[in-house]
Amino acid sequence: MKKIKDIFSLYIGSKAKADEEVDFARWILDPHDSEAKDKEMEEVWKSTSGHLASVREAKRKVDAVLFPERSQVRRYRIAFGSVCAVAASLAVALVLSYIMASRISTPDYAEISTISGQNTEIELGDGTKVILNSHSKLIFPEQFFGDTREVFLTGEAVFDVASDKTKPFIVNVSGYSIEVLGTVFNVADYIDDVKSTISLKQGLVKVNLPDSDPVSLVENQGIIYDKSSKTLEKVRVDASSAMSWSDGVMSFEGADIYDIIKVAGRWYGVNIICSDHPKYTNAKITARFDACGKVETLLSVLERLIPGMEYTKAGSIIYLK
């Protein structure tokens, strides 16, 4: 790979091809080498403007993007400055705003995010329906233009994509993208998870990775993508079960306790801490929980399923002993 500074210089210097700009944005969103990217981007940004006032004004605008009021749709004009809200980096936002605003005309973008215990359903400009899970964020154009329909996701969502054979629908997540024409699928890509998953319920999707051949999925197939090794595993899935959260149900089949408490923690807005005792590491849980219930109800069920489990609660922290 080229040095990070060389990559930035290529784009700031307008040497990149137009069809490479989205690839550049995806690379920025990839958490690998994030600290080095931030540092070099800050240096590149400084080299593009010697006016302190303009930098302060840019920072004010980007702060408004990075620190929104929760659970509401926000709209703004700078396309990839909006994308940078996903990257959560001031330097990233400043540089991408500079690049994209100076080189292409941009549509109006909107962003919607959710909090603990909240699912939100929206309809995009092309008729695509999206159900966003808790602690998730979606960035999308209010009206799609060009040859593709592209959105950016962190967290989890169910997509019911409106069919348009002339314009593929593309969901960008960390490390890869998902391309469809019309289908129903679930994608989970939380920033703090080491793996990302896709479960296809209906239709056909193509998973595009930067350095690999595309992987096609049919109904009730899915992938598990390892963010560290940048490898994926193609698996059989129960897609209906994978997206049951959109109907208010947390469904687990042969899941380990650590996956369960992570999902429950996001939904109920608590931090559940579990030891590495064998009674937990060896447990495989198959269960369904009503998401409208209380976290104590879920924990009581786990106590019955895992012999010897006990829990204590201190504020928003729950300890499994």
The model's pLDDT over 277-307, given as tens digits with 9 standing for 90+, comes to: 888 888 899 999 888 888 999 999 999 999 8
Question: What single letter denotes the amino acid at residue 37?
Answer: K
Confidence at residue 59, expressed as pLDDT on a 0 to 100 scale: 41
CA distance 183 to 115: 27
Q: Provide φ and ψ at 81, rounded to 5°.
A: -65, -35
Q: Which of 20-34, 37-51, 86-100, 182-196 has the highest mean pLDDT?
A: 182-196
| Exposure class string for 87-106: b at 16+ Cβ within 10 A, else e | bebbbbbbbbbbbbeeeeeb
Confidence at residue 56, expressed as pLDDT on a 0 to 100 scale: 42
Percent of the chain's residues with pLDDT above 90: 44
CATH 2.60.120.1440 positions along the chain are 107-246
Angle between helices 90-103 and 4-12 (to 10 degrees): 30
CA distance 108 to 70: 20
Question: pLDDT for 62-89, tens place per residue?
Answer: 444 444 443 455 554 433 333 433 433 4
CATH 3.55.50.30 positions along the chain are 248-320
**Lowest-pLDDT range of 22-26, 164-168, 310-314:** 22-26
Look at the domain 248-320 and name its fold.
Answer: Phage tail protein beta-alpha-beta fold (3.55.50)
Confidence at residue 107, expressed as pLDDT on a 0 to 100 scale: 63
CA distance 17 to 9: 13
In whole numbers, what is the pLDDT of the chain averaged over residues? Answer: 77
Local confidence band at 14 (pLDDT 50, 70, 90 cut-offs) = very low
Local confidence band at 117 (pLDDT 50, 70, 90 cut-offs) = confident
Task: For strands 74-76 and 137-141, give the pairing.
Answer: unpaired
Q: Residue 59 CB: number of other CB atoms within 10 A? A: 14
Local confidence band at 60 (pLDDT 50, 70, 90 cut-offs) = very low
Confidence at residue 281, expressed as pLDDT on a 0 to 100 scale: 85
Confidence at residue 263, expressed as pLDDT on a 0 to 100 scale: 92
| Token pair listed for 262 | 């992570």
CA distance 276 to 252: 20
Residue 6 pLDDT > 80: no
Please choose, from the candidates 153, 156, 204, the residue with its C-alpha nearest in 3D space to the C-alpha of residue 183: 204
Q: Which has more pLDDT, 260 or 46?
A: 260
Residue 44 pLDDT > 90: no
Using DSSP, state whether 211 is helix, strand or coil.
coil
Please choose, from the candidates 136, 175, 172, the residue with its C-alpha nearest in 3D space to the C-alpha of residue 156: 136
Q: What is the pTM of this model?
A: 0.70
Stretch 146-171: mean pLDDT:
94
| Pick among 3.40.50.300, 3.20.20.80, 3.30.450.20, 2.60.120.1440: CATH of 107-246 | 2.60.120.1440
Q: Which of 25-29, 89-93, 317-321 has the highest mean pLDDT?
A: 317-321
Q: Which helix (H) or strand (E) holds 131?
A: strand 129-132
Question: What single letter denotes the amino acid at residue 18?
Answer: A
Q: Which of 14-23, 215-224, 291-300 has the highest mean pLDDT?
A: 215-224
Confidence at residue 260, expressed as pLDDT on a 0 to 100 scale: 92
Task: Specify which residues 161 forms β-bridges with.
Answer: none
Residue 153 pLDDT > 90: yes
Using DSSP, state whether 107 is helix, strand or coil.
coil
Local confidence band at 53 (pLDDT 50, 70, 90 cut-offs) = very low
Confidence at residue 65, expressed as pLDDT on a 0 to 100 scale: 44
**291 touches 251 (CB < 8 A):** no
Percent of the chain's residues with pLDDT above 70: 67
Confidence at residue 41, expressed as pLDDT on a 0 to 100 scale: 60
Task: Please give the C-alpha separations between residue 247 and each of 111, 127, 140, 285, in angstroms, as whole numbers.
Answer: 23, 20, 23, 20
Please choose, from the candidates 156, 123, 155, 162, the residue with its C-alpha nearest in 3D space to the C-alpha of residue 142: 123
**139 touches 109 (CB < 8 A):** yes
| Token pair listed for 85 | 């809200």
Half-sphere exposure of 215 (CA within 13 A, CB side): 21
Q: What is the DSSP code (8-state) at residue 165?
A: T
Question: pLDDT for 228-269, tens place per residue?
Answer: 898 899 999 999 999 999 999 999 988 889 999 999 999 999
Please choose, from the candidates 145, 148, 243, 237, the residue with its C-alpha nearest in 3D space to the C-alpha of residue 187: 243
Q: Which has more pLDDT, 315 or 121?
A: 121
Residue 227 pLDDT > 80: yes
